[in-house]
Each structure stands twice: as structure tokens, then as C-alpha cells.
Amino acid sequence: MRKKALLAVFTAGALAGGLLSTKAFAQVEGELSPEEEMKLVQEFNRMLAEGINPGEIWYEVGKEAIKKYNLDKCDLGLGPGVFKGAAAQLPRYFPDAKRVMDLETRVGWCLQQHAGMTQEQVLKFVRQCWGKSGNCVSEYDGIIMYLTMESNGYKINVNLRDPNVKRMYDIGKQIYYTRLGPWDFNCATCHAGKQEVRIRATRLWSMDRPGEVGKAVSIFPKYLVRWGLPMSMHYRYAECIRQMRWPEFIPHSDLGVALSTYLYGSANGTEINAPGIGR
């Protein structure tokens, strides 16, 4: 009862634009020190221990947005409007679109098909809160949160026996280890190798340490304390690619789908437990 009451207050505050003005959800201007970030993480960890997760706010936002944008007609692979466990089986090949799609790419396609959006409008919708913090509540983030959390408790099960999916998996693996840009970086620069790597207080997961890729991807969308916002997987790709000084990442592109197929395919068998929480 206490959890439901608190979430009701938080959700109302979020929709009114006042959620993140409270101390608990405050977004500190400028760069946070590691000590400040750790204090915020500890505060949210205490909330999680009490069964309160800030991501559930976006779940409720997404639940309403599904109706608003006719996404109850969207087929994630188990039939129109069947969302329980569907995200756990993505990416997958969709004959109607004639391509392999991950969750975010499929949602973008459904927004065009069922909400009448153009591709440009979808991209604007996706990026609504990119680069922002504080009082920004994105319906797109809500949709992705809702659909992912509907698969909580289900194990990731990407069908790598499908030749279309396996091809995209192989492309994603090649991208992951390809060095590009002026700094000659790749995804493996931060997320490969047996040796532990840290950035400030954050321990980076590695593709080469058993089970870590599953633990990493199974909690996305991930709530970031320093922003006071959730981060979807395609937003994560965009930020990583920006930091590596690669060409700009376009949401729902084949690049994103290939990376998702490699990462989630490598995480098969891991139980989805979204949203995660991080610095």
C-alpha cells in the first residue's frame, strides 16, 4: 500500500513537471563529483530496498502512451498487443518489415504504421529528452520502459538459429570489435578483456567475463541518477558512439539493431530485470 501511494505521488509529480524538483530527484547542475554521485546512488539504493523504483514512473507513462499512439495494435512477435515476454525474444526477424528489429526499432516502425508518424517525427519523438535532465518525461522512454518491464522475469531468448538474425549477430560482433574514429576506439576498448576496468567509481562490464553482458543488457532501460532520467539502449549506443568520436548514431538504424542482436544474443538465458539504476 505504501509503495503504491508513493508511486502515485511520484507519477503525478512527473506528469505535472515537478517530480525532479524535489531533493530526492534533484538534478545537480554541472558535473557531479564521484562523492556526490555515490551519495545519490546510495539514496536510490535505499529506495529500491524498500521496493520503490523510479523507473516505475515511466512504466505508467508508457502504459498511457501505448493507448494514445495505438500501439496496442503493435506486434512485437507474439501477436498484436501481446507484450508479456515479447521483448525477451527480441531482436527477431519481422516478415512485415522485411528486416531484423530490436525493441526500439520495432516501436519506431509501429509508430509509423499505427500512429501515422513520419520517420522524421519518430526520430524527434525518440530524442525528446536526449541531452536533457531534470523535468523531462519522454513518452517514448515510457513506451520502451513499459514494454521491457512487461518481460521482467522472462529469460532473454534471441533466436540465433534464424539465418537473418544470425547474420545480424555476426555483423554486430564485427562492429563491436572494429576500431574507428580519430581515437581508434571500439566497443571492446571499454567492454572486453579479463582485467577489471573502472571509470571513476563505475566498474565496466566485459564481454569476456562470463555472465557480465547479460547483467549489463538485462537491466535496460537504466535509470541514471546523475540525469534523473532513464536511458534506453539506443540512447546508450548514441552516447558511447559520441564519446568514441564515431559518426553520429541514428536511432533505429541497422547499426543499432546489429549491436543489439550481438549483445542480447550473447546474453541469452539471462532474466530481464528492468529498470536498472546507475550513476
Q: What amino acid positions are annotated as catalytic residues?
A: 240
d(CA 246, CA 71): 33
DSSP secondary structure letter of residue 270: P
Location of C-alpha cell 558511447: 240
Residue 205 corresponds to which amino acid? W
Contact at 8 Å (CB) between 120 and 242? Answer: no
Give 68-79 as a DSSP string: HTTGGG-BSSSS
| Residue spans of alpha helices (H) in the chain | 2-15, 34-49, 55-68, 103-114, 119-126, 139-149, 163-177, 188-191, 212-217, 233-243, 254-266
* 3-state SS class at 175: helix
C-alpha–C-alpha distance, residues 243 and 189, integer Å = 12
Please write down the long-range contacts of 37-41, taking CB distance under 8 Å and 24 or more positions apart: 37/200, 37/201, 37/225, 37/226, 37/279, 38/201, 38/279, 40/225, 40/226, 40/279, 41/225, 41/277, 41/278, 41/279
